[in-house]
Amino acid sequence: MNKRLINILVPLISIVLGLVIGAIVMAVSGFNPVDGYMALWNGIFMDTYTLGETVRQITPYVFSGLAVAFAFRTGLFNIGVEGQLIMGWLAAAYVGQAFELPAIIHVPLALIAAAVAGALWAFIPGLLKAKLQVHEVIVTIMLNYTALHVANAFIEMISGGGERTDKIHESASLRSEFFESITDYSRMHWGFVLALIAVMVMWFILEKTTRGYELKAVGFNKHASQYAGMNVSKNIILAMVISGAFAGLGGAMEALGTFENMTKLHASTGIGFDGIAVALLGANQPFGVLLGAILFGSLKYGGLNMPSEAGVPTEIVSIVIALIIFFVASGYVIRVALERFGKRKEVK
Amino acid sequence: MKKRKFAFALSGLLALGTILGACGSKDETEEKDTNTGTEETADNFSVAMVTDTGGVDDRSFNQSTWEGIQAFGEENGLEKGDGGIDYLESKSESDYVTNLNNLIRRDFDLIFAVGYALHDAVDEIAGQKPEAQIAIIDEVVDGRDNVASIMFRANEASYLAGVAAALETKSNKIGFIGGMQGAIIGGFQAGFEAGVAAINPDIKVDVEYAESFTDAAKGQQIAKRMYDSGVDIIFHAAGGVGNGLFTEAKERKQKDPNANVWAIGVDRDQYDEGKVNDDTNIVLTSVLKRVDVAAQEVAKLAQEGNFPGGETITYGLKDQGVDLADSRGAITEENLAKIEEYKQQIIDGTVVVPEQPEK
């Protein structure tokens, strides 16, 4: 089969499948699927406000997706993005409210603090994996809970027993009046530019540097890499730390953009866990992650409008969105199947 | 390879766009029809609410607010939807602003924001949309003329629950499960402890916080530990966490019908949650926070054009904004009379209930 044809067919089939099955779910539950999808569409693209908010929603997903993808590419399964993101959020919120500095220093400082906090939180499982062969999945999962409660305790300490940290100073904020004016007060902020830069950075590290090559090599085959003279444990730790830094920056997006402070969390934010799906959607490629985050974030945000405009309950919305994402992700399966099928024919 | 994937994903997005676009245009006329349908009731005063992450069926104050709004809707012949009554559920903290905005754009005259977690979102939106009227429950938003803050003296009703627990306990061990530590739940704890101490100062209340409002498993775990240690009455002020308490108590009662385990509900009358079978129930009473009454009242005020913007309204025992639920025979007549005495004393002001637990 023609490669180009496959390229066009596979996503078309998978998205249509997702939409159709989603429509069936809505119809069976007694809701009008056309209204539902219309509301979803409006929720994403209706006006500048929803567009701005959609971008806002996408931004942290890019970072959490990159964090997961980076670890995947280096043979590690970082489920702790959630926790690293929370630590980054906390660090950025703290730096944002505790110091008064000119914006040119304050913003970078808060971002660096977030990246370092996320990196430190990921350093622990990296170290344990490298030195003691403790599986990173277990450690990172457990550290998610630890992060949640540590952050809550810190918020209480910083705010003197309150529920939330003070608002960050304006000099640390990523929001801008310009975006507010063109998007009718949406919470869109400069973070999306940083997200794009982060995509470039990850691509550069992995594809253009020796270190990136080593990281990938260790991921492919630890023993071969060691035999080739690479320092395996150092590379494992480094991979986790870079992954954690991306996650921490995702937290900074919430601290410096969306919320401009941090409230005690009752439960995980979900952004870190969704990052796993985003990374898989994007096939662990930096630019793929960007597209995965755009799809994921848009659906998530647009879905909020479905109960409001079409009366579809949030539970059904979750199912419909999950179905669309499921079929887009399984598009790769369809593709592989099609290609295999084509190849076999050629051999014969 | 990379290029191919990029192109593939991009085309996927485009395809999604075109398909959704097609859906959209087909439906536009239909949408307009429904709009004109609701315009007949346009003079009606419309009310909506945004839940916190607990959702509208949390069997707690989100649900209670919605019940109040529904009652208001029934009185005024409003239906669910634009120009009537409606709610939006928030799945994460970042949804609060969006949901509030959504409702304002749909021209609801009054919007309830349920729970202290919505403080920042309300503050932000109220500044951007000065024409909107927002009422926030369980939190005070200062300095906004278009925000009414509704607070409850839950400590007063908790005091009565403490009195009831201390009178009814057989093991002289009483437990308290809190949600997240802080001023709101602190009020419940302080009132409850003071109530227990008023009857029997020797009883020490076993206090544990779940650090969550949703984790029912955690609630069950804490309840199990408390019941195992001999506690026979547990009061929870922890939203969905309390469902774990009810589960644990019901399981114990099911295994052993003579087990002396009781739970005290919160926010709504949680009698239904404690049903073991037709004649057994483990709910002693519930600390009522009549969010429904408050929501209905504030809606009425706003409808009459007297929206209490910029003010803080506090509901206590005196205004029947908080109370104890009907115990349905679980508390003896004699003890009920004693509880009534304390209630009167609080209303008269002879008993002052502490607002925060001693550190």
- Residue B39 scores a pLDDT above 60: no
Q: What are phi and psi of B208, to 5 degrees?
A: -140, 140
Q: What is the residue whose two structure tokens read 């979750």?
A: A318
Residue B309's Cβ-count burial label (10 Å; 0-12, 13-18, 19+) is: middle
ipTM: 0.79
Query: Taking the domain B154-289+329-348, which CATH number applies?
Result: 3.40.50.2300
- Residue B146 scores a pLDDT above 80: yes
Lookup: tokens for A310: 């079409």
Nearest CA in chain B to A266: B212
B3 in contact with A at a CB cutoff of 8 Å? Answer: no
CA atoms of A134 and A236, how far apart (whole Å): 12
Pairing outcome for strands B322-324 and B283-289: antiparallel
Residue B351's Cβ-count burial label (10 Å; 0-12, 13-18, 19+) is: middle
Nearest CA in chain B to A294: B13
Average pLDDT, chain B: 86
Domains of chain A, by residue range, sit at 59-285
| Chain A positions in Cβ-Cβ contact with residue B27 (cut-off 8 Å) | 34-35, 38
Report the gap between the CA of B169 and the closest CA in chain A (Å): 32
Lookup: tokens for A83: 């926790």
Cβ contact, residue pair A270, B92, below 8 Å = yes
Of A11, A42, A307, the CB nearest to B89: A307
CA atoms of A199 and A287, how far apart (whole Å): 7
Cβ contact, residue pair B182, A292, below 8 Å = no
Helices (H), ranges, A74-188: 81-98, 103-132, 136-158, 177-182
Residues 132-151 of A with CB under 8 A from B: 149
Say which amino acid occupies A124: I
Cβ contact, residue pair A291, B9, below 8 Å = yes
Nearest CA in chain A to B87: A308
CA atoms of B69 and B147, how far apart (whole Å): 18
Q: What is the DSSP letter of A256?
A: I
Report the gap between the CA of A161 and the closest CA in chain B (Å): 7
Rounded to whole angstroms, what are the CA distances from A8 to A186, A225, B14, B22, B37?
35, 38, 11, 19, 43
Residues with Cβ < 8 Å from B252, sequence gap 6 or more?
Answer: B227, B259, B261
What is the pLDDT, as a whole number, of residue B9? 53
What is the pLDDT, as a whole number, of residue A163? 82
What is the pLDDT, as a whole number, of residue B31? 39
CA atoms of B351 and B203, how far apart (whole Å): 20
Same fold, B42-152+292-315 and B154-289+329-348: yes
Left (φ > 0), alpha (ψ -120 to 50) or beta: where does B111 sit? beta
| Chain CA centroid to CA B11, Å | 46
Q: What are the pLDDT digits (tens) for B248-292?
A: 999 999 999 888 999 999 988 899 989 998 889 999 999 999 999
Q: What are the pLDDT digits (tens) for B47-80?
A: 999 999 888 887 778 998 999 999 999 999 998 8
CA A108-A110-A115 angle, to 5 degrees, is 90
Cβ contact, residue pair B9, A14, below 8 Å = no
Residues 273-332 of A with CB under 8 A from B: 282-283, 285, 287-288, 291-292, 294-295, 301, 304-305, 307-308, 311, 314, 328, 331
Report the gap between the CA of B345 and the closest CA in chain A (Å): 31
Pairing outcome for strands B233-237 and B205-209: unpaired
B260 in contact with A at a CB cutoff of 8 Å? Answer: no
How many residues belong to chain A? 348
Rounded to whole angstroms, what are the CA distances from A26 to A108, A196, B26, B265?
46, 35, 18, 36
Q: What are the pLDDT digits (tens) for B194-225?
A: 999 999 999 989 999 998 888 899 999 999 99
B37 in contact with A at a CB cutoff of 8 Å? Answer: no
SS3 state at B201: coil
- The crossing angle, in degrees rounded to 10, of helices A271-281 and A286-303 is 130
Nearest CA in chain A to B35: A309
Lookup: tokens for A337: 């199947």
Query: Taking the domain B42-152+292-315, which CATH number applies?
Result: 3.40.50.2300
| Chain CA centroid to CA A337, Å | 28
- Residue B145 scores a pLDDT above 90: yes
Of B7, B13, B91, the CB nearest to A295: B13
Report the gap between the CA of B299 and the closest CA in chain A (Å): 21
Q: Over its length of 348 residues, how does chain A's per-residue pLDDT go in tens digits?
A: 577 777 777 777 777 888 899 999 999 999 999 999 999 999 999 889 999 999 999 999 999 999 999 999 999 999 999 999 999 999 999 999 999 999 899 999 999 999 999 999 999 999 999 999 999 999 999 999 999 999 999 998 998 877 889 999 999 999 988 998 888 888 899 999 999 999 999 999 999 999 999 999 998 988 999 999 899 999 999 999 999 999 999 999 999 999 999 988 888 888 999 999 899 888 889 998 999 999 889 999 999 999 988 888 888 888 888 888 888 778 777 777 777 777 766 655
| Chain CA centroid to CA B112, Å | 12
Domains of chain B, by residue range, sit at 42-152+292-315, 154-289+329-348
Report the gap between the CA of A62 and the closest CA in chain B (Å): 15
| Chain A positions in Cβ-Cβ contact with residue B182 (cut-off 8 Å) | 161-163, 264
Residue from A21, A57, A145, A163 to probe the interface with B (highest B Cβ count within 10 Å)? A163
CB B357 within 8 A of CB B189: yes
Cα distance between the two ends of chain A: 14
SS3 state at A274: helix
CA atoms of B103 and B132, how far apart (whole Å): 10
A221 in contact with B at a CB cutoff of 8 Å? Answer: no
What is the pLDDT, as a whole number, of residue B34? 41
| Chain A positions in Cβ-Cβ contact with residue B95 (cut-off 8 Å) | 304
What is the pLDDT, as a whole number, of residue B5? 53
SS3 state at A243: helix
